Structure 1
Amino acid sequence: MDGVQLYTRSAGEGLPVVLLHAFPMSSAMWLAQREGLSSVCKVITPDLRGFGGSVLGEDDPSLDVMADDVARLLDHEGVDRAVVGGLSMGGYVTMAMCRRHPDRLRGVILADTKAGADPEAARSNRERIAAAVLEEGTSVLLEEVLPGLVGQTTAQRRAMVFGRVRGLVQAAPPTAVAWAQRAMAGRPDSFDTLRALKTPVLVIVGEEDEITSPADAGAMAEAVPDGRLVVIEKAGHLSAIEQPEAFNRAVSGFVAELAGGIGESPSRG
């Protein structure tokens, strides 16, 4: 299995930090991170297969396939070890990286994601949405997925942010949406993976996240041997888009800690 080459953008110099996007976004969601973090690290933001500029390929749906794509991306970039992180689906791919390629990790960032596997009802719902999107297009996502992606504060007070999120959702290719839904439905429980990690982990969550809650985030931070938790106020599931400055502060502090520099290090909560 040769996989696919991910389309990626990068900015900055220094410690490489790979950020993996949420479902059903593309790497365009990381614009504020490419701009805001490029002074402290090299930010690498790929489009996961099928999204943005990356092709879907012929592989069966699997987060392991996506993790192997990221490992190949590191090879292509000439990077031996990197901080790898992701938000939501990107977090699931990051945990697959932890299982399959732990030697490539300098640190881990898990944002607005969870380590547990889907219960049967959630798996069935993913399959239902996958089939509906292939038949009806992304309008299904606007009705069923979009409302839960942002927090109450964003929905009520940040019309421009909500509009940007809507545009990113609308741009998602139906075939990639269906493939990713099926990949996420098949993911295993990752708590044992987290307990075995030998690298530092930063867990970030929006306080208004109703998809992957602060309780989910706290459980992950407690599971890893070297974890810290940052809760971002007035943000929902897409904390990096809703509150980019706070998100960037958390990441830059973590990167400074890993690099042995002086900076604001996130504290365990």
Structure 2
Amino acid sequence: MSALKPPARRTARVTTPDGIGIAAEAFGAEPFGTGTRPGIVFIHGFSQSSLCWSRQTTSPLLSDFQMVTYDFRGHGASDKPADPARYKAAELWAGEVDAVIRAFGLERPVLVGWSYAGRIIGDYVATFGTKGISGIVYVDAVTANERRFYGSCNRLMRQMCSPDVTENITATRAFVGRCFANPIPQPLFELMFGVNMLVPHHIRAALFDRVADYDAVNRSLDVPVLVVQGALDEVVAPAMAEHITETVPNARLDLFEGAGHAPFLEAPERFNAALAAFVREVAGKA
């Protein structure tokens, strides 16, 4: 049997409305952005990068879709402005998402947001509404600030904001480990740790102190929403996913038993199958 061909890949440097350069990539057969195949925009989490989605962008289960990943501001290969104000306003994050969608010509894609990206999706909807998207997948996502919605990693995340290099590295290494309920291959751990350390401490601090208050946005959603949650998540408690499901009209919860904060990496086949089914369902309603 011949080996599967890797998906076509296209890179782009997208400029946000406030002038920040964003590193983005598109995966899928050409022509891209024609609207003939459903689109998916993957948004990574706090101190991560688009590389975390590699088990999705290379999956045969998702090869029928046009997929876009990007490093959001301050992360990965994107620009890293030092001014904390560049990470605060909802319209900045919303404009960034919109710029990425427009750069690749996607027509009403599904937004898939991991962890911190729950805030970013909330910012996008609060600014632009839902006319430009066809669905949302929240993955162990953050949309509210109540302490009961969080796990036991807040102290580590605050230490990741420290200018003390030793404290920062130690906390980051521990945090990456706590993202998983089971041991992961060493190369994957090293990749996740490496991209975490690309984010300067002061940028982490600017993101960490931003309040999450998206209940009103979630109540207003009029597109299909799938809530994916690792049952053993130590970063964002399953109570957050339950809250989102109860708040969003007609949302569905998919609980991944035995998985931690990154079910798309710990159980990629199951996650990719669930995502493919959701996107096809959403596309059929469009």
**After TM superposition, is the score higher than 0.5?**
yes
Residue in structure 1 matched with residue 63 of structure 2 by the alignment = 39
How many angstroms does 1:48 deviate by?
1.1
Task: List per-residue Cα deviations over 1:202-236 (Å, max 9, x = no partner).
Answer: 10011111222222111101211131111112210
Tell me, yes or no, if the aligned pair for 2:160 and 2:169 is still in contact at 8 Å: no
Where does residue 218 of structure 1 map in the other structure? 242
Q: Does the Cα contact within 8 Å between 2:144 and 2:212 map onto a contact in 1?
A: yes
Preserved CA contact (<8 Å) 1:18 1:83: yes
Q: Counterparts in 2 of 1:21-32, with a 5 A limit?
A: 21-32=44-55
TM-score when normalising by structure 2: 0.78
In 2, the alpha carbon distance for the partners of 1:42 and 1:15 equals: 6
2:228–2:254: 8 Å Cα contact kept in structure 1? yes
Structure 1 187/178 Cα, relative in aligned 2: closer, same or farther at 3 Å?
same
Alignment of 1:104-143 (within 5 A): 104-117=132-145, 125=155, 128-129=158-159, 131-132=161-162, 134-136=163-165, 138-143=168-173
**Separation in 1 of the partners of 2:239 and 2:212?**
19
- State how 1:186-197 maps to structure 2 within 5 Å: 186-197=210-221
From the superposition, tell whether residues 177 and 38 of structure 1 become closer, same or farther in structure 2 (CA, over 3 Å).
Answer: farther
The AA in structure 1 aligned to 2:221 is L
Post-superposition offset of 1:91: 2.2
Q: Distance in 1 between matches of 2:228 and 2:241?
A: 7
More helix by share: 1
Select between 80-89 and 35-44 the one with higher mean Cα deviation. 35-44
Structure 1 residue 260 displacement after superposition: 1.1
Q: How does 1:1-269 map to 2 (within 5 A)?
A: 2-12=18-28, 14-36=37-59, 37-57=61-81, 60=85, 61-62=87-88, 64=90, 65-102=92-129, 103-117=131-145, 125=155, 128-129=158-159, 131-132=161-162, 134-136=163-165, 138-151=168-181, 154-155=182-183, 158=184, 160=185, 163-173=187-197, 175-260=199-284
Within 2, Cα distance between the matches of 1:56 and 1:118? 29
Listed as ranges, the gaps of 5+ residues in structure 1 are: 262-269
- Structure 2 distance, partners of 1:178, 1:242, is 30
The number of residues matched between the two structures is 253
The amino acid of 1:62's aligned partner reads K
The letter for the 1-side match of 2:145 is A
CA apart distance, 1:75: 1.7
CA distance in 1, matches of 2:204, 2:243: 25
Task: Tell me the CA shift for residue 183 of structure 1.
Answer: 2.1
Can you give the 5+ residue segments of structure 2 that lack an aligned partner in the other structure?
1-16, 30-36
Question: 1:94 deviation in Å?
Answer: 1.6
Confirm or deny: 8 A CA contact 2:95 2:124 kept in the other structure.
yes
What TM-score do the two structures reach when normalised by structure 1? 0.83
Which letter does structure 1 place at the counterpart of 2:40? V
Equivalent-residue separation in structure 1 for 2:267 and 2:139 (angstroms): 13
2: CA distance between counterparts of 1:180 and 1:250?
31
Cα shift at 1:30: 0.4
